Structure formats: C-alpha cells, structure tokens
Amino acid sequence: MKVIGGAVAGVLGLILLIVIGIAVLVVEDDEAAVDATNGGSGLQGVPAEFRKWILKADADCKEPPMTPALLAAQLYQESKFKTSVAEATSSVGAQGPAQFMPGTWATWGRDDDGNGRNSPWDVGDAVMAQGRMMCSLLRQAAASGYPGGPRALALAGYNAGWGRVQQYRGVPPKSFAGGETYNYVQLILSSMTRFQGPDLVPVSFSGSGPGPSALRRASTELGVKYSYGGGTPSGPSTGFCDGVNGYLNGRCDASRTEGWDCSSLVQYAYWPSIKLPRTASAQYSATSHRPIARGDLKQGDLLFWSNSSGFIYHVAIYAGDGTVLHAPRTGKTVSLQPMASAMPAGDYLGATRP
C-alpha cells in the first residue's frame, strides 16, 4: 500500500509508486472486468505464516466482498509475501508485507499477534491491519455509489487513498500516477483465482468436544498442498520422497512443497489436546479400541483405508453429511470429498474415535 496522508499526498500522489519486486503490467482497459471476480471462502498458495492471519482477517470482516483470496492477491501484489526490511521497504517508505506508510499504520496497526509490539513487519499485525483497512474501505465503497464495484474501489483507496477515489468518483484512470493505481486494481482482481481454494468448512459445527474442535482446526488448512512426509504439529512443512511416494511428473515434489500428508494433518488437527502418533497405521493402533460403525459416525472421527496386504495407507477426518476432510495424495490439496469416493471403496477398513 502506498497511502500517504495530509499535504504530502498532494505531492507524492502523482509519483509512480513501485510495487516491490513486481513489474507493473499494463492491462487492457476493460471496465466491465474490474470487479468481475466473485471469489469464495477458500484459500491456497500462500506461505504458512500468512495463512491463519488471512483467514482471521477475512472472518473478522462482515463485508460480503471480502474474501481470503482478495487479501492474498493484494499481499502478493504489495510484497510477494516478503517480510524483511531489505525486501519489503518501498522507495517512498511503505513498510512490511502489507506496505503501510507510517502515518497510515498509526491508524490501523495493532499488536494482533500478542508479541508485545505493534509492527508493520510482523505478519500477524500487518495482515490484520490490512484486513481492517480493507474492510473499512469496502464499506465506504458500497456506500459511495461509484461505479466499478466495491473491491475495485477499495483496492484503489488502499493504494492511492480514498480521497483519490472521491476525486475521480471511481477508480483513478490510467492517466493518474502513470496508471499505477489502475493497474494495481486490475492485477489484484485478475490474480485472485490463483489464491482461491475450495470453500472452507463452516467454522461453527454442531456440538463441542475434541472431534468438532479438531475438524475446525483442520478446516483452516483447506487448499494447502499435499506433501508426502510433510507437516508437523506446528504446521505444514516440506516432506521427502522414498523411492515410491512423493513424486510428481518424475520429480520429487514433496521435498520442494510445503504442505501436509494425510496423517500429519490428522495429528495437527487433534494436537495438543490429543497427541496422536505420526503415521496412519500408528493412529489406527492408538484409536482402534474405540471402533465406530458407519451409521454412528460423528464429526472428527477418523476413517482408515488399507491395501490388500493389510497396510493402512490413508486416514481422513469425518466432516459430516457423508464427507471427509483429508490430504489425498501428491499433486492434490487438502480438501472435502464424499466419503464414498475419497479412496477406493474396497479399501475402507473402518473408523475410530480418538
């Protein structure tokens, strides 16, 4: 963000502001496409340290146009998710992954991550401040009646200041600031689909207890990539290839992909209230004393599949209504699927309750 307040805005507002590390792409003028991306509640393709804060910032904003993909695409355009002073300081002094000017940070910044400091360089503080400011701008945009759609107007306000949106009664044209704001808006809206994952499971599940709590925690990882051997109780991580598993198109995908495999996602979901072991086979052994019939499945129950030799190769979390939440295999992402088609039906071993 390159929002500059007061008299300084009158001078610097016309400067072509450089988006850190990203060449400004000139997009063909297409007013009808400015706010055509609908988006949804899913998220994918973002660094792990940003993910929970993007989802929280989205959840805290009640404006319908706000989505995780919108915030993610904006962060990518601002800084490519960079967090160092060297990589995330602009030529005009904007700071951190969400690119706040100091004066604007004074309005929106808080110590959201609870580490004792209020800093635009802290991922949690920066993303939550971005979310608060965008939420406010979306409300202003909806009430303004200006053309272009609330997302486009809010993005323009974030980049150039709401005063410029009022001045032009819409997104500033290409003639303003060398087209920087116009292109900023177009690029973010057009790149939202890159970060749009499957719709998230609703955060409120019926009942309480370990199962629904585990499912809520696992649902925050929807859209994160599968990585064989990856994932720990602390979050997603790169994995490894073992000669058979972890490969994609002949290359070891796991060693360069930060994500989850089926059992690490389950372990993470229940941690630390229930400290399940790491592998699907070990998780079955640890919970098999509480078998659950198909007709008695509840949210959070664990479902297992095994091959003809009896090796348990997959585990998933029952999500209700005949669906499971799981990390399927290399090349896929954490997703919701019908239980009947999540894995070969003949391999279904049974279910347990941790």
Q: Which residues contact 24 (CB under 8 A, 6 or more apart)?
A: 18, 179, 180, 183, 184, 187
Token pair listed for 250: 């002949």
110 close to 118: Cβ distance less than 8 angstroms? yes
How many other C-beta atoms are found inside a 10 Å radius of the C-beta of residue 139? 16
Report which of 199, 197, 162 is spatially closest to residue 181, judged by C-alpha positions: 162
Please report where in the chains the tokens 């759609």 appear, as a residue.
Answer: 149
Q: Residue holding tokens 């404006």?
A: 63
Digit-by-digit pLDDT tens for the chain (354 residues) are 544 333 233 323 322 232 333 333 323 233 333 333 444 557 888 988 898 899 889 888 989 899 999 999 999 999 999 999 999 999 999 999 999 999 999 999 999 999 999 999 999 999 999 999 999 999 999 999 999 999 999 999 999 999 999 999 999 999 999 999 999 999 999 999 999 876 655 544 556 799 999 998 998 888 889 999 999 999 999 999 999 999 998 999 999 999 999 999 999 999 999 999 999 999 999 999 999 999 999 999 999 999 999 999 999 999 988 889 999 999 998 888 889 889 999 999 999 999
What is the Cα–Cα distance from 228 to 295, expressed in whole angstroms?
Answer: 31
The CA–CA distances, whole Å, from 52 to 155, 210, 286 equal 22, 20, 29
Q: Which residues, 6 or more positions from 244, have their beta carbon under 8 angstroms from its beta carbon?
A: none
Residue 249, SS3 per DSSP: coil
Domains observed in the chain: 6-195 (1.10.530.10), 210-352 (3.90.1720.10)
Report d(CA 66, CA 57) in Å as an integer.
Answer: 9
- Tokens representing 172? 């500033």
